Structure 1
């Protein structure tokens, strides 16, 4: 009996392979068999779920009598839905052998099944089920799940005509993830105590700060004999600014301007707490910019709400403090990089309560700084020093040559110091130099040894994922393994791949594989950057007109929209011959350019 069972399995597996070939041949020859009535129907069920949830759709066939084999693909939007091979379950139809293959990057699940004997019953049968995970950043609405590449045959074999009934997944309500509402709690996956990026549920709209789209408040400025500056905003000034903003056709900002006091030791900006709450709650106010000669601070809409959440009915005052720090306060590890450059402590108080962290939103800080004659602006960086004295580089900082200032984005009010971290590679020159210098200064990329960078060598998929983790400041020490079959826990890149998979930046290449040592293609790099933008809650700007590449038809459907968005954002461009070359490997220099432009844009963008 055991021998007969083994023989049956071998026969069925052979039949499955033969069926796939025959189905393709029959499809070409058009040799179709179908009864005049009772044509079978392949159906996908429709379900509803929330962002972050798993939902299961069933693929069934109505009136399956006479079917001996079938193959088809289930197509879905990979930016909304994710699935792995383990999520696909084939039904145990008696005598059938099944094979499935998931290619997440393309949004396809391939299915094939065959039997030594045709199905003899006409009642509806479930063929397989697929458990999809809805992206946490998915918009509310419907996303289609469709059938394509369908071939069905009887046991002659002849092709059988079959109807198709597609399904959909309705994304409704808010994410089931409760999020992070504790002002003092940062996501453990973020080593750099900066941006509020991990676990964001939706990609917020993004506005580049436009100082012309604001209502000005000229605040009273008082300087004491110790060089301390107090800037006071009144309730009437806030009310008048809100009234002016409500007359604007579009959401606008409020700019609080202090008299310029150079070399101030400490600047304290006082705003009535209840008036601040009104600013935060008014949907016409998109940001508040506070301008002093010591620093300019811009609070986005969510940052305003985060601070306002600490205001009670009895709160009187909100103080934002900028305090100059002596360079002797720095640890030896960064003293050389900081030198005599400026450093400041930043605080926010609601009355006497310290609010060091934002639970949501971000702050743009601009620190005036004049370059020394030998300074390379791409090597000027910002160090963040936490309350325990631990220093880390802020990745998304940039030197603004027009404003002569270092600009960076953060979500914490801590100590920040301007530093300089120039890295030189002997084999880097030409167009890529500035981009490579920029990322190397922030320790997002490094060389290959002997002072070389190898700019023209193609970058591997595992290497690019590590670069993204560096930009995010991800603490990958919490990851010990990976879900991919070809990524071992002992591989140096395993924690970076595991992080990227958990954050829905990568999904693998199918069959549970990641292909870490493969060169990353230009189109896959675009897809990863596009997903990373969602992860860091950054809506890509549109700074250039859309270009239609001459090989647009060669760009895979799963990558086309990502390529368009990155091209309009000025992050990617085509080849000199007008093509995009989607399957061509991207070099280390090209990847440095893409990520440097991405970071520089994000550093100066209000969310």
Structure 2
């Protein structure tokens, strides 16, 4: 039996603080324990107590590691029994707790004669009854995101806990008779946490955001501290406590404190699997550049590896790279400048903290800082390393040093700022040259970090008063650094490709937003974020017999998918307020990349148990096509123990179904899609999303796409994803997919309107907008309110409202736009220019159009500004009061922009090209792009 997983099942309702249930009785009764271990690892612990129908807790350890923990109740005779399985040939110690009285014992699963068999019961640990007045202890409270109370000496008195307690949320609660000194005669850990919260400025009586200590009658349970509640982050999350580094087996109201006790309350996202840690250093007083070694250990589990060291609340960096602990829990640090430094550590597992921050240590650095090396000398050293062989690590280390110096250099006057820009340009060139020569993933990780740090420096520089020439230089180097980051991070190791680095990148680019051309930045960011949501299937998961490739999706692949999805979630949270508004990229399904095989025929095998682990849809992409696997689509058609087989075959003419393609048709490609369980085709409960790579020429119409339903060829709806260059279609059932060759048809009058071409052709392909003739679009022509209403109605397929009356006397039923105006009016998207007039032939203004698209976005997406947005346009006073906040929101979302001279021109007429760009931007936001 896997002990930890069984523990979670037993105590799921109690989260990870299952031991916080035992009450401290003022009357002490006898507890007896009889442990029995067998060579096969089976163990039973039985005993008696004078307490009848009372809570009983059991804790079993191997050395310092907890191996088994459970709770139960004594019966009518005060008897209890636990049976469980541990490892054979082992020795354990245990502790039983009944109503505050404890009994220790030893137990072994070794063979008789080797120390096995029945264990020996120990002596009670519970102190004798009496009434404490106060105890002086040390207390620390570690929340998930921050330290709530640093290690502090506090005096804890014995007081009535009852006024501080909330109602129990679990079903095991019993009537309570209070928790005063008559019931708890000694100062306990629960008294300590309440006084500690008050010391930290947190109201323990505020059960919404202060503390939620729940009264179960038979015990107390800490459900929340400082707004951090049980089950936040994971199903195993909750509050725990330790005293003198030991994990008590008794609840907080039952643990009696002694003078000098060192108590820590902490939030553990992974429950007992979290690493409780301590940090130490081999030196606490050093000179600048003198190396120290810190060691991070867990009292229960030994050295803590892969934890990031923090200095003064920031990640420690060694030439720009995170300082992390090695296999022995050790890490090395140096400090360039004199001062006092506080050292701590953090660690994450699937982007969730699995380390309890240690009590920090302080390092004093005394003496003068080392002088930096000139950029000319560094340049000379770099060129020598670049020309030499086997100097990759030295070359990367030199670049790190150069970046360190560039960041540490003063930037207070024009001369220093000019020098900083020049040095950035130089180092950016070094990074590109080093990346061209590098081969090790760790080197690419380091170079990506150097690119990122210089981008952050560029973001700082653009806020300074700069000449136009300096601004252009920063823009040029920022684009180089951004593209350099994409190049290096794509070859980096896993340590470099993390959520935090992406968030830092977006924040750095945000600082450059509005200062450099966004059109040069956005494509790079979009490519980078899309790349971050890909999982490549390794060759060991593929069986290729030459005619087809079989991909088996197993636990290893699912674990990687879950890891990337956690990273995706963390990135989305981190860039939610980004000015680039790129979070729509993170709403897309993760992509599982299947490498090319010997043929274009692929089978994907996934069993029911693995499918059940998939929470969100994923795109399965082969060289020839892409299939969106929606778990809910197949969950109801596969029985437990069965296997789903997906077929994605690109076929040639010899494989076409008879009569499906006529000789006169020009075929682009054809596919056979199938989903089977034990050889029989199954129909998914949701439509199948299918896509193929397709280059749609400018102005071209979408190609015709067909499938077969009941042996009849039918057309299927198709859209085009310009960003990914994919033709996307939806199938109601498995079957063939035939793609014919599309036709061209570009407009000839778009010269000077290149900025609108993408929007015009995208809306044309969807049938939303059309030209004024077959070859012309008339992009500079003004658009009327009726035409704008028609575009909105057509684009978002509002339900028909022909039978609903509209109050506008200038919109009669025989007008071509009557139905469209009815649609947008009753949908609350557009209103009239007065109570009874719509003004259909009146040209729409920029402020009217911006307000309309803003209103539709809020309505469709259910989003909007949380507080008023300040407009920065010079002519903002010319904007009508009723339209200001709608315009501000539309500008914030990137749907509409100013005129380039810091004005908005609210009364100016909207041209057809502008209308297309607005609607295209709105459409992309609505569909999550």
TM-score (norm 1): 0.50
- 1 or 2 for the larger relative contact order (CA 8 Å, sep ≥6)? 1
